[in-house]
Structure 1
């Protein structure tokens, strides 16, 4: 068992020392290098969907690197609001993106982006030259890490991403907890176990306090997350390792996402979400802690934090997401497109306040479709967003209704 610690309860553990460019020393960070592999690219059919607004500037084209569908689709929809045409280079699980009317061309890769080596970059450069791509964008953890390793070796501009060393620290729940403790940022008491039997022994010995939360180290969303309220609720088996075991913080979930340049926050989208609605917030203590983390890592690009706010207003950071996130389309509809912000990082400081933003869940929105006068401006815009790509969203809605996209409730959403 490894004890990570809780701010205010344990002595801070030192972070890896930054190098001259402000990033941690690579030699002190565990990092699994990509395995050598060949990249097999096959072109599929293209759609006719594209941004139709007239432009005086030359046509802008983007290529999204995608591994999966749900989050990657949100990145596609945000990208088409800035670029005239968006191409997708898709690996495992991304094939559904080709059915979106906003995907200009889908190109299939038989290799994961975590498997690619530097000699595969020439093939990506060749695709970018062929389709006159102006910028390459990540869309998930795998593709963000890929660009963090190799963006400087591509001949095309890339969306800003953190260094690979920084990504590996922040994307790991146990490493992030260590970083927060060292920076005096509040986190739940965190332990790391290899097996559920170790968890059970510690609980039986009275060294764990219920309720607690079990979760994997680096899976995204709420996959694998389990709240346990008593000893008898511990599962017999968990099919991932290591197992992160955290104190459960009573209160509400708060999610905060920031666009950053060279360790400075340029803008933010902070919200709480329940099963019925999403509401934007302003939580200054959370913003203060986020500024500390972003400055320490000299962070570039999009970064997000899942936190809990207890009934007294105290904040505890749960995990970090050094990448795009699932509800970035809501931010775009509300007026903050993180793709656009990352592509046009020419401003200093905050861009401005969105004002009050409240959005009911898609299911509740569609129940209110016959009474549109009861919808606010953001809700009407979000319905328009859904209906502009009907096939994809009808398919996703059906999967959700059947439980295929079920999200675990509780801490860390």
Structure 2
């Protein structure tokens, strides 16, 4: 940890290696808050931001939850923040140890571990969506290979296989041929366990994200974006998106989160057929999401609202924001285009668009160093195994 401790810290962030945490940092600091920024190595994107009042290094939560939580406890006791917000998937480690962390007196505005896991795990979340009358693609949780084969015969190809616990496009596979040996190989190669993954009928539509802030099941902020491009041709994180509205999907998202009295921030992904009006629930991320920078720049500052919710107990609802704002993940979009050029798959989404880009969510003129630290980190991770 740093030896220089800034006094009167307002908020502590963890897992700050990527652009999600960096945009959360900006959203907080630009409202005058003092933020201590934690990362699991010295090349975290926000670690070199001018907006971080202080910094510390913590263990990687994936390698040792015990050591990670110990580091967070030490940081809380050292910096004495009013609020602690996990910015990524470490939220599950934090929620499992919520009572111990809260005994320090810090406020942590997240849901309990059961709620987080029921929303994040695709084996459970699609059932939850169905129970609240939200449409989903035809779905099974197969117990053996025969059930997958029968499902394909009944619903036609392509189908999507999704690991229950997955992030972005990791653990998501598109099956376009009824080749039993290939399906067996896919399951074996990716260590998929029957009963712990789902198979869904492929649905056509544009991808929308509905971001929501909830106060114990009550809506406090809603923001909608539409994906214009994705990093991986067959799916994955978005690299170009636009702020928009979709009341049908917004109501679905609110109903889903209200049904479990969700507390905190989440983004729910839908497929929406703009010609027919049909919609399908795809997944829920009960944490900060990759395009949070778009919401902040459009006028819905989820990080700051979450902080105020923690400190004051509630916030005034926020639903107004600038529509038609386009934000690009610069580096991700360039990598996506390179993959497109070398791929046999052709998709019009990868043809340069006519959209005017208003912001980048990984590069800002007023704070450029984090962007270059991010590039160096990615290159280093390619060639050197980090601790």
Aligned residue in 1 for 2:59: 110
Tell me, yes or no, if structure 1 residue 146 matches structure 2 residue 94. Answer: yes
Aligned residue in 1 for 2:326: 358
Following superposition, the deviation at residue 82 of structure 1 comes to 3.4
Sort the Cα spacing of 1:88 and 1:383 in 2 relative to 1 into closer, same or farther, 3 A: closer
Aligned residue in 1 for 2:15: 66
Tell me, yes or no, if structure 1 residue 259 matches structure 2 residue 259. Answer: no
Sort the Cα spacing of 1:288 and 1:168 in 2 relative to 1 into closer, same or farther, 3 A: same
Aligned residue in 2 for 1:246: 200
- Unpaired runs of 5+ in structure 1? 1-42, 51-57, 367-373, 405-413
Contact 1:138 1:147 in 2 (8 A): no
Q: Distance in 2 between matches of 1:198 and 1:383?
A: 45
Sort the Cα spacing of 1:147 and 1:284 in 2 relative to 1 into closer, same or farther, 3 A: same
Tell me, yes or no, if structure 1 residue 340 matches structure 2 residue 318. Answer: no
Following superposition, the deviation at residue 199 of structure 1 comes to 6.7
Aligned residue in 2 for 1:306: 269
State the secondary structure of the residue aligned to 1:157: coil
Aligned partner of 1:292 among 248, 255, 262: 255
Following superposition, the deviation at residue 126 of structure 1 comes to 4.4
Taking only aligned residues, the RMSD between alpha carbons, in angstroms, comes to 3.8
Sort the Cα spacing of 1:158 and 1:220 in 2 relative to 1 into closer, same or farther, 3 A: farther
Following superposition, the deviation at residue 121 of structure 1 comes to 6.2
Q: Distance in 2 between matches of 1:182 and 1:223?
A: 26
Q: Distance in 2 between matches of 1:160 and 1:296?
A: 18
Q: Distance in 2 between matches of 1:66 and 1:364?
A: 20
Sort the Cα spacing of 1:218 and 1:75 in 2 relative to 1 into closer, same or farther, 3 A: farther
Contact 1:45 1:106 in 2 (8 A): no
Contact 1:257 1:269 in 2 (8 A): yes
TM-score (norm 1): 0.70
Larger relative helix fraction: 2
Give 1:389-408 correspondences, 5 Å limit: 389-396=367-374
Sort the Cα spacing of 1:186 and 1:254 in 2 relative to 1 into closer, same or farther, 3 A: same
Q: Deviations over 1:277-332 (max 9, x none)?
A: 42222111112212222221111110111100123011110111111111111211
Tell me, yes or no, if structure 1 residue 136 matches structure 2 residue 84. Answer: yes
Aligned length: 341
Q: Distance in 1 between matches of 2:269 and 2:361?
A: 26
Q: Deviations over 1:98-118 (max 9, x none)?
A: 33343344322335278545x
- Unpaired runs of 5+ in structure 2? 230-238, 335-353, 383-387
Q: Distance in 2 between matches of 1:181 and 1:225?
A: 21
Give 1:8-407 correspondences, 5 Å limit: 43=1, 59-66=8-15, 69-82=18-31, 84-91=33-40, 95=44, 97-110=46-59, 112=61, 115-116=64-65, 124-147=72-95, 149-150=97-98, 153-193=102-142, 197=145, 201-202=149-150, 206-232=153-179, 234=183, 236-237=185-186, 238-241=189-192, 242-275=196-229, 277-310=240-273, 311-345=275-309, 346-359=314-327, 362=330, 379=358, 382=360, 386-396=364-374
Aligned residue in 2 for 1:16: none
Sort the Cα spacing of 1:125 and 1:83 in 2 relative to 1 into closer, same or farther, 3 A: farther
Sort the Cα spacing of 1:307 and 1:104 in 2 relative to 1 into closer, same or farther, 3 A: same
Contact 1:64 1:87 in 2 (8 A): yes
Following superposition, the deviation at residue 181 of structure 1 comes to 1.4
